[in-house]
Chain A
Amino acid sequence: AQTVTQSQPEMSVQEAETVTLSCTYDTSESDYYLFWYKQPPSRQMILVIRQEAYKQQNATENRFSVNFQKAAKSFSLKISDSQLGDAAMYFCAYHQNRDDKIIFGKGTRLHILP
């Protein structure tokens, strides 16, 4: 069964600095999607960034980028120029083709230090 592992339950970063959140996954599929979701305190879960496994180029969305290493089954999220509004729980997720479910990691709580 597919699994998603986030090894950092909590992280802190100084405002304006860069932080990288780690994620590894296990799968036997060759074609799949990976996501990073953000859940701010008491607010709605939103999609931050998406990566298609067949694309070698790493996805970027403004200050958010990923380092996708398919062979290593690694999918880390880099946040540049961290802002106070980036404080949230971040969930790494894998789209499972066989039953169209998304498998979520346990999350990393990110604190931004002013």
Chain B
Amino acid sequence: EADIYQTPRYLVIGTGKKITLECSQTMGHDKMYWYQQDPGMELHLIHYSYGVNSTEKGDLSSESTVSRIRTEHFPLTLESARPSHTSQYLCASSGRQEPSYEQYFGPGTRLTVT
């Protein structure tokens, strides 16, 4: 079954630790996105990719980095986590052809930095 996966679902980590949030999709989508969302609040685009070896920064400045070495995989890394990074991180993907302009979302990773 085609889907989009995120791991871990929940992460509590101390300040200064390096973390990587995983995102994978099995739909063969070219485009992938990372959003940051505080609970019950709006989504902020922080990174996106149009395909392998393509990454762009989103509308909200973020200290995180991303990579896109494989079509299906779009991990997000924080080199040194801080309490201000506490949030929910949503990964999404979309296909090349319409009507696939819609984005498909993963379940999210809820990150708490202590």
Residues of chain A at the chain B interface (Cβ within 8 Å): 33, 35, 37, 43-47, 50, 52, 89, 91, 95, 100-102, 104-107, 109
Contact = CB atoms under 8 A, between A and B. Distances in A.
7 contacts: A33-B101, A35-B102, A45-B105, A46-B105, A95-B102, A105-B42, A106-B41
Interface in B66-114: 90, 92, 94, 98-99, 101-108
B93 to A, nearest CB: 12
Contacts of A89: 40
Contact of A100 (B31, B42, B104): B31
Contact of B90 (A45, A101, A102): A45
A70 to B, nearest CB: 17
Nearest to A6: B42
A50 B105 CA distance: 15
B45 interface: yes
B48 interface: yes
Given A95-B101, A100-B31, A101-B48, A44 B42 contact: no
B42 A106 contact: yes
